[in-house]
Amino acid sequence: MSTMQLGECSSIAVKLPSRIAGLNRLAYNLWWSWHLEPRELFKSLDRTLWKATGHNPIKLLQQIEPYRLVAAAQNPAFVAKYDTVMQKFDSEISSTSTWLNTSHPEIASGTIAYFSPEFAIHRSLPIYAGGLGILAGDYCKEASDLGLPLVGIGFMYPKGYFHQHLLSDGWQEEIFEELDFNEAPIAQVTTPDRSPLIIEVPLNDSTIRVVMWEVILGRAKLYLMDTNIEQNQPSEREISSRLYVGDRETRLKQEIILGIGGVRALRALGISPSIWHANEGHTAFMMLERIRELMAQGNDFDTAVHQVQATTVFTTHTPVPAGNDAFSVELVERYFHRFRESIGLSRDDFLDLGRITRDDTSFNMTILGLKLSSYRNGVSQLHGWVCRRMWHSLWPKVEEKDVPISAVTNGVHVPTWLSHQMFRLFNKYLGEGWLENHDDPTIWERVMDIPDDELIAARRWLKGKLISFIKNQARKRWCQDRIPADQALALGGLLDSEVLTIGYARRFTDYKRPALILYDMERLQRLIQDDLQPVQVIFAGKAHPQDERGKQLIKEVFQIARDPKCGGRVAFVEDYDMQAARYLVQGVDIWLNTPRQLQEACGTSGMKAAINGALHLSILDGWWYEGYNGTNGWAIGSDIQTISPADRDRYDAESLYDILENRVVPLYYQRDMSGIPHRWAQMVKESIRSILPRFSARRMAKEYTELFYLPASQHLQQA
In this predicted structure, the answer to whether residue 525 has a pLDDT above a threshold of 60 is yes
Predicted pLDDT at 312: 98
In this predicted structure, the answer to whether residue 56 has a pLDDT above a threshold of 80 is yes
Q: What is the 3-state secondary structure (H, E, C) of 328-345?
A: EHHHHHHHHHHHHHHCCC
Angle between helices 329-342 and 285-296 (to 10 degrees): 20
SS3 of residue 237 by DSSP: helix
What mean pLDDT comes out for the span 439-447? 97
Distance between CA atoms of 310 and 709, rounded to whole angstroms?
Answer: 10
Distance between CA atoms of 311 and 290, rounded to whole angstroms?
Answer: 11
Q: Which residues does 457 contact at the CB level (< 8 Å), separation at least 6? A: none
What is Dmax (Cα atoms) for the chain? 80
Predicted pLDDT at 654: 97
Distance between CA atoms of 407 and 44, rounded to whole angstroms?
Answer: 44
Distance between CA atoms of 89 and 430, rounded to whole angstroms?
Answer: 24
Predicted pLDDT at 268: 97
Distance between CA atoms of 656 and 287, rounded to whole angstroms?
Answer: 45
Q: What is the per-residue pLDDT across 362-378, written as a single tens digit (0 to 9) for each?
A: 999 999 999 999 999 99
Predicted pLDDT at 717: 62
Burial 301-337 (b: 16+ CB within 10 A, else e): eeebbbbbbbbbbbbbbbbeeeebbbbebeebeebbe
Counting residues of the chain whose pLDDT is more than 90, the rounded percentage is 90
Q: Which residues does 509 contact at the CB level (< 8 Å), separation at least 6? A: 543, 544, 547, 549, 550, 553
Predicted pLDDT at 708: 98
Give the dihedral sign, CA 48/49/51/57.
Answer: negative
Predicted pLDDT at 638: 84
In this predicted structure, the answer to whether residue 2 has a pLDDT above a threshold of 90 is no
Question: What is the model's pTM?
Answer: 0.96
Helix-then-strand count for the chain, H and E = 31, 21
In this predicted structure, the answer to whether residue 100 has a pLDDT above a threshold of 60 is yes
In this predicted structure, the answer to whether residue 407 has a pLDDT above a threshold of 50 is yes
In this predicted structure, the answer to whether residue 5 has a pLDDT above a threshold of 60 is no
Predicted pLDDT at 8: 62
Q: Which helix (H) or strand (E) holds 442?
A: none
| Residue 187 β-bridge partners | 214
End-to-end CA gap in the chain: 20
Q: Which helix (H) or strand (E) holds 701?
A: helix 697-704
SS3 of residue 550 by DSSP: helix
What mean pLDDT comes out for the span 604-624? 98
Phi-psi region of 541 (alpha: psi -120 to 50; beta: other; left: phi over 0): left
Whether 271 contacts 206, CB under 8 Å = no
DSSP structure class, residue 324: S
Whether 539 contacts 572, CB under 8 Å = yes
DSSP structure class, residue 13: P
Q: Which residues does 468 contact at the CB level (< 8 Å), separation at least 6? A: 497
Whether 622 contacts 380, CB under 8 Å = yes
Instruction: For residue 197, give the nearest of 11, 6, 28 by alpha carbon.
Output: 6
Whether 81 contacts 44, CB under 8 Å = yes
Distance between CA atoms of 30 and 10, rounded to whole angstroms?
Answer: 16
12 — pLDDT class (breaks 50, 70, 90): low
Per-position DSSP letters for 136-191, written without gaps between them: HHHHHHHHHHHT--EEEEEE--TT--EEEEE-TTS-EEEEEPPP-GGGSS-EEEE-
- What the chain holds in terms of domains, given with CATH numbers, is 8-94 (no CATH), 111-158+186-410+701-718 (3.40.50.2000), 461-695 (3.40.50.2000)
Distance between CA atoms of 106 and 115, rounded to whole angstroms?
Answer: 23
CA distance to 130, 595, 603, per residue, from 510 (Å): 16, 9, 15
Instruction: For residue 207, give the nearest of 215, 198, 194, 196 by alpha carbon.
Output: 198
What mean pLDDT comes out for the span 660-681? 98
In this predicted structure, the answer to whether residue 235 has a pLDDT above a threshold of 60 is yes
Predicted pLDDT at 178: 86
DSSP structure class, residue 354: G
Other C-beta atoms closer than 10 Å to the C-beta of 13 total 15
What mean pLDDT comes out for the span 502-517? 96
Instruction: For residue 286, give the nearest of 267, 270, 269, 301 by alpha carbon.
Output: 267
Predicted pLDDT at 320: 83
The backbone torsions φ and ψ at residue 590, rounded to the nearest 5 degrees and listed phi first, read -125, 135
Q: What is the per-residue pLDDT across 125-136, written as a single tens digit (0 to 9) for each?
A: 988 888 899 999
For residue 490, count CB atoms less than 10 angstroms from its CB and return exposed for 0-12, middle for 13-18, buried for 19 or more: buried
pLDDT, mean over the chain:
95
Q: What is the per-residue pLDDT across 636-669, written as a single tens digit (0 to 9) for each?
A: 998 877 788 889 999 999 999 999 999 999 999 9
What mean pLDDT comes out for the span 569-578? 96
Query: Which amino acid is located at 6 in the chain?
Result: L
Q: What is the per-residue pLDDT across 246-298, written as a single tens digit (0 to 9) for each?
A: 789 999 999 999 999 999 999 999 999 999 999 999 999 999 999 999 999 99
Other C-beta atoms closer than 10 Å to the C-beta of 6 total 13
